[in-house]
Structure 1
Amino acid sequence: MPREELVQAAEELKHASADVSGDVKDRLESQAESLRNLAEADHGPDHGRLDRIMHSLSELESDVDDETAKRIESAYDHVKAHRETVSGV
Structure 2
Amino acid sequence: MVREELQAASDELRKAGEALGGEGDVATRIHDQSDQLAKLATRSSGPDHGRLDRHMNTLSEIADQLDGEAKDHVEHAREKVREYRETVEGI
The match for 1:54 is 56
TM-score (norm 1): 0.97
The match for 1:17 is 17
SS for the counterpart of 1:45 is coil
- Structure 2's unaligned 5+ residue stretches are none
Mapped to 2, the partners of 1:47 and 1:4 lie a distance apart of 17
TM superposition outliers: structure 1 runs of 4+ over 6 Å: none
Greater mean alpha carbon deviation, residues 64-73 or residues 39-48? 64-73
RMSD over aligned CA atoms reads 0.7
Kindly indicate whether residue 32 of structure 2 is the aligned counterpart of residue 4 of structure 1. Answer: no
**1:67 Cα deviation after fit:** 1.5
1:31-89: CA deviation from partner (whole Å, max 9, x where unpaired): 00000000010110000000000000000011112211111110001000000000000
SS for the counterpart of 1:64 is coil
- Structure 1's unaligned 5+ residue stretches are none
The match for 1:42 is 44
TM-score (norm 2): 0.95
Mapped to 2, the partners of 1:74 and 1:10 lie a distance apart of 10
Identity of aligned residues (%): 45
